[in-house]
Amino acid sequence: MRLPGWITVKRRPAPSPWLVFGISLAAIAAALIVAGIFFQIYGVSPFRAYGDILRGALGSKLGVTETIRRMIPLLVIGVGLSVALRALFWNIGADGQLLMGAVAASGIALFSGLPGPLLLPAMLLGGFLAGAAWGLVPAILKARLGINDVITTLMLNYVAISIVEWLIHDPWKGPTMRGFAYTDKFPAAAILPTIAGTRIHWPTLLIGLVAAILLFLIVKRTRVGFEIRVAGENPHAARFSGISQTKVTLFAMMISGGLAGIAGVGEVAGIHHMLLAPNNISLGYGYTAIIVAWLARRNPLAVILTSFLFGVIMRGGDVIKVSLGLPFQLVNVFNGLILFFLIGSEILMRYRIRVGRRQQA
Amino acid sequence: MRTEAGLTNSVSEGSKAVVEMKGIVKRFPGVVANDGIDLAITRGEIHCLLGENGAGKTTLMRILYGLYQPDGGEILLGGEPVRIASPKAALAHRIGMVHQHFHLVPTLSVEENIVLGLSGGTGPFLRLRRTRERIEQLAEEYGLSVDPTAKVWQLSVGQQQRVEILKALYRDADVLIMDEPTSVLTPQEVDALFGTLRTLVDDGLTVVFITHKLDEVMEVSDRVTVLRKGKVVSTVHTAETSKAQLATMMVGREVVFRLEKRPPHRGETVLEVDDLHAHNDRGLPALRGVSFDLHAGEILGVAGVSGNGQHELSEVLTGLRKAHRGSAILETRDLASCSAREVADLGVAHVPTERIRMGTVPTMTIQENLILKSYRTPPFCRWVFLDDKAANRHACEAMEAYQISAPDEGTIAKTLSGGNIQRLVLARELCGSPKLVVAAHPTYGLDVGATEQIRQVLLDQRDRGAGILLISEDLDEILQLSDRILVLFEGEVMGIVPCDEADLEEIGLMMAGSHRREVTA
Amino acid sequence: MSWESWIVATLSRTLAYGTPLLFATLGEIYTERAGVLNLGVEGMMIVGALSAFVVAYTTGNPWLGVLVSGVVGGAFSMIHAFASITLRANQVVSGLALTMLGLGLSGVVGRSWEGWPLWTPLREVTVPGLSRIPILGPALFEGQNLLVYIAVLMAIILWFVLYKTRIGVTIRSVGEDPATADSLGVNVARVRYLCVLVGGILAGIGGGYLSVAYRPSWTDGMTAGMGWIVIALTIFAFWNPLLGLVGAYFFAMLFHLSFRLQAWLAPELLKTMPYVLAIVVLIVVSRGTLQKRMGAPSALTIPYSRGED
C-alpha cells in the first residue's frame, strides 16, 4: 500500500502492556461511538440508550445478577479459549462443544438413574468430557493431518446443532411436554443451585473463576503452560526445543472443549432445566467468547473482566428490547463493531505511525 | 577492474557491453553485500559469477533484475543508464532471471505459468493455441522440451527449470541470468542445460551464470568474474586461467582476528558418524554417505558453500531430521534416530543458523528464553511448576558470564541486537557442559566485537573438552578456529585436512568439487 | 403421490433452494481462490436479503431489489477486505465479525419490515419448448424464475473465467503463490479486493433471492445458517465453480429430502450431511498429491506482504 510521504510507518518491536490496554480501550470507545451514531440515525438518543443499558445492567440488583448470569458461560468458555488461542488453535467450535456438554448433562439427568447427590457431579464431569471429546476431533485432525482447525471446528458446530435438534424432536422428546420440542424437565437433584432470588447458578460461576485462576497459573508457572506459550509464539523454536506440537494442541483443546461443555451443563442445568432448541441454549456464546478471549489478550484472569463487559452488553440488549423496542440483535451489532475496531486497532499496536514532515532516514 | 597476482584482465569494449554495472553498493543491516562492484558483460557471451556464499553474487544479480535497489552505483544497458525498479521493468529491458528457488505456481500448468502477469494483446482470454504454438516453437529452437499442459508440480526439477527459462524467453529476454542452476540437476540434465545455453548464445543471447563450482566455470563460460566478500577480485577469460588460480581467488585471505588458540588436547572420540544419508526438504539426497569422527577437545570445521548438505547435517545430528541410512553415535546412542528432546538430554548443544527464528521465542523474555531447553529438569522445574527464582538467578549469572547487554533479564528477546541474541543462545545451549556442540554459522551477520567474543567462547568450550562441529561459510573463521577441516560438496566429504596442513588452494578446489583427499584421520 | 409428481416436486424444490447456495458458493470460491477466507457469508447474505426486500417492497420492482442486494453485499464485503488485505488482520476473526455485524444490523433495521409479504416477487417463468419434456420439463423449466437460470449461467461463466482466461490464471496464482505473482507484476492486493467484492456481490444476490423469490418476505435470521453451508460447500466443491453447481443442488436435494424422508430418517441428521461431507473431503484431500490437485489454495488465510514485515 503506497502511503503519502508525510506518513511514516515503522515496525514496533514490543508494544507495552499499557499501550495494548489503551488502544483496546480506544477501540471499544470507537465502537460505542459508531453504535451511538447508529442509534441516532434510528431516532433514538444514544445517551438514552447507553443510559438505559448501564442502569439496566448495573443499576439494580436484578440488573447486576442478570449481567452475571449472562457472564457465566462467557467466562467459562472464554477462559478455555484463551488457552486454545495461545496454542494457536482457532477454536470456533465452542458453541458446538457447549451443546454437546448440554447433551451429556441432559442425558445423565434424565436417563442415567444415578442417585440424587451424584447427579450434578456426574453431569458436570460428563459435560466436560463430552465437550472435550468434541474439541479433540478437530485437534487430532489438525495434529495428524494438518487439516485447518477453523473449518473443522466450525463444521462440528452445525453437526452439534443438528444432533440437539434431533434429540429434542425425537428420541428425547419429553412426553410431558405436550408435543413441544423439549425434553422433560430435569429432576430436582439435577438442577444447579442458584443464589437466592437470582438466576446465578453459582457452581458454574465458581468453576469459571477457579478455572481462570488455575489456568492463569498453569500457563504462567508450569511446564506444560510454558510449552503452550512457546508453541504458540514460535512454533519453530518449539520444534527446535523438542516440544511436541501435538501434545500441546491436544492438551489445549481438551481444556477448551471441556470448559465449553461445562458452560453447556450450566445453561441446561442451571437456567433452563431441560434440553431445548439449540438457539435458546446458546445465544452465540461460543462466538462472543472469542471476542472475550481476544480482548483479554488471551489472559485467563483478564477474561473475568472482559466476560463481565460482554455480560453487560448482553443484559443491555435485553433491557433496551423492552425500554426502547430495539431488537436483541443489537447485541450482535455491538459485538461486531467492537471486534472490527479491535482487529483494526491491532495495526496501531504493530506499527508506529507518525504523521508529519518526511523524516530523515 | 582490479587485478591480483598479475593475471591478465579482460577488457570489455564499452560499445559491446550489453550490461554494465558500475560501482554498485548494496548494504543490509550488519553487512555490506556489494561493495563497489564493477561488472561488464559483453553481448553473446556466457559470463560466470564465481564466489562463495556471502560473496555478493546473488545480491548483485537481484539488483540487475530489479528485486533490490542499489544503495550506490549505476546500471547501464547498451551504454544508457537505466533504473530497474522491479522484475517487470527488468523484463521490459529484456533481462530475465532463473532463480535458485523457482518462481513457479505449482498448481498451474506450464503455459499458465509462462503467461502469468502478461497482459495479452489478445484480451482477457487465453489464446491458448497461439501461446502453445509459441512455447513449442521456442522449446524446439532451444532444446527445452516440456509439455505445455502439464501442471508444474508434476514436473521434475530439471523440467521446471526449463519452464523458467521458457518464461524468460517468451518475454523476449535477451540477457538470461541463472542463479546456481545446476544445484538441483542430475549430471545428464546439466549437460542438457549447457547445450541449451550454448544454443542460446549462438543465437545472440547473453547468459550470466552464478555458481560456486569450478568444473562448470571451466566447461561452459567464456569469461568469469570472481567475487569475494562483496568485492570483485578479478575478471578473466576462462581460457586464460585455471581451476587452481580461480580457487585461490575465490577463497583468499583477510585480516585475522586476535584469538587465544591453545594447542589442541584431543581426547576420546565423542561422535562417530558413519555413512550418513539424508534427504533435504525437496526429497533430494542432501547427505550421501558422510563419515567422520569428532574427538573431545577439538573443533572440526565444516567448510563448503551453503547448500551442499551442511544444513541437513546439523539437523540430523540434533534430532530435527531423520537420516535414512547410516548412524551418528554419541557414546552409545545413535543421534540420527533420536528426537530433538532426546538429543538435548544427551548433552548436545545446537547453535542454529536461524538464531531468531529457531533459536529464540522473540516475544518472550531473556529469562524465559534461557530455560527453553532446561525447563523440564530441576532446578528450574520442581514437579510441574517452574521455579521462577532459580530461572532468575540463572539468567543473571548467564547475562554476566556471556556479557549479554540488556536492561534486565525481563527484557523481551525481540529487542536485542543480533550479537546479544547469539550470546543468549550460546548461554542457553552451553550451560550444562555439553559433550557435543553443533554450531552453524555462529557469527553470521554479527559485528566485530560480538564475532570475536563468540569465537573465543567456542575456543573455551573446546579447551573445556567439548567436541565442536563448526559449520561456517566464512573460511577465515574455519581456518582460525578449527583443528581439522572437513569439506562438504554435494553431500559428500571431499576430504578432512588437519589445520596446520591446510592449503587454501586445495580447500578451494575441494569446496568447488574438483578435488578429493583421502581421509586418513 | 405418484412417483412422477414426487420427482417433479423434488427436482423443482432442489433447483429453487439450490440457487441461493449456488450464488453464494460461487462468490466464496472466487474469494478463497484469491487466498482470502471470508467467514462473513452469512452476514453478507442476510444484508442482501433485507435490502432486496426493502427495495422490492417500496418500489414494487423485485429486480431492482436483486440489483441492490448485490450492491449492498459487495459494499459490506469491503469491510472485510479492508481489514484482511490492507490491515492484514486475522481473516477468521474479521469474517466472524462481519457475520455478527450483518446479522445484527439486518435484525435491527429489518424489525419494522417483518411480517409483510411481498406482493411483487420475482415472476415465475416457463421456458417454452423445454417445459414439455416429460418429468424434467415441469420440474426444471416451469415455475422457476429467471434468477435460477442466471445462477446456472453464472456458474458456467465463472468456471470458464477461472480456468480458461488470463484473469483466472492471475486469480489462481494470487491464491497459491502470491510472492511469485507479485514478482511478475501482478497487483496482489487489487486482485484480492476484486475477488472479495465478487464474493460479496454474489452472496448478496443469493440472499436477495431468498427474500424476493424463494420466500417473498422478510424475517430476522431468514438465512438460517445457509452461509455456513456455503463455507462447507466451497470445500466440497474443491474450489471449482462447476462442482459448486453440482454440490449446491446436491445439498439442496438433501435438505429437501430431509423433510420428505422424515418417516425413515431423522431430518436433523440428514442436515448434518453438508458439514460431515466437507470434513470428509478435507481428510481425503490432506494426502500429498491430492492436496496439489484439488486442495485448498496454498495461500488461503495468509496475509501477503512483500519483503520483511
Per residue in A207-248, pLDDT (tens digit) is: 999 999 999 999 988 888 999 999 988 888 998 988 888 899
Could you count the other beta carbons within 10 Å of the beta carbon of residue B22?
15
Going from N- to C-terminal start, the domains of chain A cover 72-307
Q: A224 in contact with B at a CB cutoff of 8 Å? A: yes
A60 part of contact set with chain C, CB < 8 Å: no
Q: Residue B498 forms beta bridges with which residues? A: B484
Read off the pLDDT of each residue in B469-489 and give the average, rounded to a whole number: 88
Residue of C nearest to B121 (CA): C166
Cβ neighbours of B339 in A, within 8 Å: 242
CA distance, residue C130 to nearest chain B CA (Å)? 32
Contact between B358 and A223 using a beta-carbon 8 Å cutoff = no
For residue C196, the distance in angstroms to the closest alpha carbon of chain B comes to 20
Nearest CA in chain B to C174: B105
pLDDT of residue B317: 93
In the predicted model, is pLDDT for residue A360 greater than 50? no
Residues 258-287, chain A: which have Cβ within 8 Å of C?
A: 284, 287
* Whole-number pLDDT of residue B46: 94
Q: CB distance B116–C169 less than 8 Å?
A: yes
Per-residue buried b or exposed e for A299-332, using 16+ beta carbons within 10 Å of the residue's own CB? bbbbbbebbbbbbbbbbbbbbbeeebebbbbbbb
Longest dimension (CA), chain A: 79
Q: Are B111 and B149 a contacting pair, CB within 8 Å?
A: yes
C79 to chain A: closest CA residue: A340
Pairing of strands C125-126, C142-144: antiparallel
For residues B343-348, average pLDDT: 89
Mean pLDDT score of chain A:
87
Question: Which residue among B342, B352, B375 sits closest to A240, beta carbon to beta carbon?
Answer: B352
Going through B367-512 in order, the beta strands assigned E by DSSP cover 381-382, 385-386, 436-440, 467-471, 484-489, 492-498
Chain C neighbours (≥3 Cβ pairs under 8 A) are: A, B
pLDDT tens-digit readout, C161-182: 999 888 899 999 999 999 889 8
Interchain pair C173, B124: CB under 8 A: no
Within 8 A of C86 by CB-CB distance, chain A residues are 1
**Residue in chain C nearest B129 by alpha carbon:** C164
Report the gap between the CA of B470 and the closest CA in chain A (Å). 18
For residue range C37-69, list pLDDT tens digits in order. 999 999 999 999 999 999 999 998 889 999 999
CA distance C151 to C202: 10
Range with top average pLDDT, B3-17, B246-260, B501-515:
B501-515
User: Per-residue pLDDT for A357 more than 60?
Assistant: no
Provide the 8-state DSSP code for B388.
Answer: H
Average pLDDT over residues C223-232: 89
Shortest distance, CA A305 to any CA of chain B (angstroms)? 24
Q: Domain coordinates of chain C in residue numbers? A: 3-294
pLDDT of residue C71: 97
Q: Check whether C290 has a pLDDT greater than 70.
A: no
Q: Looking at residues A63-72, what average pLDDT do you find? A: 91
CATH fold label, C3-294 = ABC transporter involved in vitamin B12 uptake, BtuC (1.10.3470)
Cα(C26)–Cα(C154) distance, integer angstroms: 8
Q: Is the pLDDT of residue B7 over 50?
A: no
pLDDT digits (tens, 9 = 90+) for A72-124: 999 999 999 999 999 989 899 999 999 999 999 999 988 888 887 888 899 99
Chain A residue numbers with beta carbons less than 8 Å from the beta carbon of B376 are 223
> By percentage, how much of chain A surpasses pLDDT 70?
94
The C-alpha atoms of residue C186 and residue B116 are separated, in whole angstroms, by 8
* Nearest-Cα residue of chain C relative to residue B120: C166
Q: Where are the beta strands (DSSP E) in chain C?
A: 125-126, 142-144
Cβ of residue C89 closer than 8 Å to a chain A Cβ: yes
Residue B10 has pLDDT above 50, yes or no: no
DSSP per residue, B153-205: GGS-HHHHHHHHHHHHHHTT-SEEEEESGGGG--HHHHHHHHHHHHHHHHTT-
Q: Which long-range contacts (CB under 8 A, 24 or more apart) does B397-400 make?
A: B398/B370, B398/B427, B398/B428, B398/B431, B399/B366, B399/B427
Is C224 an 8 Å CB contact of chain A?
A: no
Q: Looking at beta carbons, which residues of chain C come within 8 Å of B86?
A: 185
Residue B321: list chain A partners with CB under 8 A: none
A86 contacts on B by Cβ (under 8 Å): none
Task: Return the residue matching grid coordinates 563448503.
Answer: B304
Counting as contact any 3 or more CB pairs under 8 A, the partners of A are: B, C
Residue A7 — very low, low, confident or very high, per pLDDT cuts 50/70/90?
Answer: low
Mean pLDDT of C3-8: 80
Question: What are the start-end ranges of the E strands in C119-257?
Answer: 125-126, 142-144
Kindly tell me the sign of the dihedral angle through the C-alpha atoms of B409, A303, A353, C94: positive
Residues 174-193 of A with CB under 8 A from C: none
pLDDT of B254 over the 80 cut: no
- Element (DSSP H or E) covering residue B226: strand B223-228
C308 vs B243, more confident: B243
Grade residue B473 by pLDDT with cuts at 50, 70 and 90: confident
In this structure, what C-alpha cell is assigned to residue B4?
591480483
Q: Is the pLDDT of residue B389 over 50?
A: yes
Is the CB of B344 less than 8 angstroms away from the CB of A242?
yes
pLDDT at C9: 83
Query: Which H helix or E strand runs over B74?
Result: strand B72-77
Going by pLDDT thresholds of 50, 70 and 90, the confidence category of residue A261 is very high
The closest CB to that of A234, out of B340, B362, B412, belongs to: B362
**A222–B354 C-beta distance less than 8 A:** no
C108 → closest Cβ in A159, A333, A339: A333
- pLDDT per position as a tens digit, B412-457: 888 888 888 999 999 999 988 899 999 999 988 777 778 888 999 9
C266/A166 touch (CB, cutoff 8 Å), yes or no: yes
State the average pLDDT over residues C118-133: 77
* For residue A169, pLDDT beyond 60: yes
Minimal-distance CA residue of chain A relative to C80 = A340
Q: What is the mean pLDDT of chain C?
A: 87
User: Which pLDDT band, with edges at 50, 70 and 90, does C205 fall under?
Assistant: very high
Mean pLDDT of C177-205: 93
Nearest CA in chain B to C171: B116
How many CA atoms lie within 13 Å of B173's alpha carbon, on the beta-carbon side? 28
pLDDT at position A14 over 80: no
Does residue C294 belong to the interface with chain B, where contact is any CB pair within 8 Å? no
Residue A253 has pLDDT above 90, yes or no: yes
pLDDT in the model for residue A349: 82
Which of A320-324, B51-55, B237-241 has the highest mean predicted lDDT (pLDDT)? Answer: B237-241
Instruction: Tell me the average pLDDT across B148-171.
Output: 89
**For testing the chain A interface, which of C50, C91, C275, C286 should be mutated: the one with the most A CBs within 10 Å?**
C275
Taking contacts as CB-CB distances below 8 angstroms, the residues of chain B near A12 are none
Residue A250: is its pLDDT beyond 90?
yes
Q: If you average pLDDT over residues A300-322, what whole number do you get? A: 91
Among B386, B290, C177, CA closest to A227: B386
Q: Is the pLDDT of residue B82 over 70?
A: yes
Which residue in C has a C-alpha nearest to residue A339's C-alpha? C97
Residues of chain A neighbouring B320 (CB-CB closer than 8 A): 239-240
A236 touching chain B per CB within 8 A: yes
pLDDT value at A193 more than 90: no
Chains with ≥3 CB–CB distances under 8 Å to B: A, C
| pLDDT value at C188 more than 50 | yes
Report whether pLDDT(A358) > 60: no
Q: Is there a contact between C186 and B117 if contact means CB atoms under 8 Å apart?
A: yes
Instruction: Kindly list the residues from chain B whose CB atom is less than 8 angstroms away from the CB atom of residue C184.
Output: 87-88, 103, 116-117
Band of the pLDDT at B308, cuts 50, 70, 90? confident
CA distance B115 to chain C (A): 8
Residues of B (79-138) whose Cβ lies below 8 Å from C? 86-88, 103-108, 112, 115-120, 124-126, 128
pLDDT at position B213, please? 79
Among candidates C173, C183, C185 on the partner chain, residue whose Cβ is nearest the Cβ of B108: C173
- Confirm or reject contact between A233 and chain B (CB < 8 A): yes
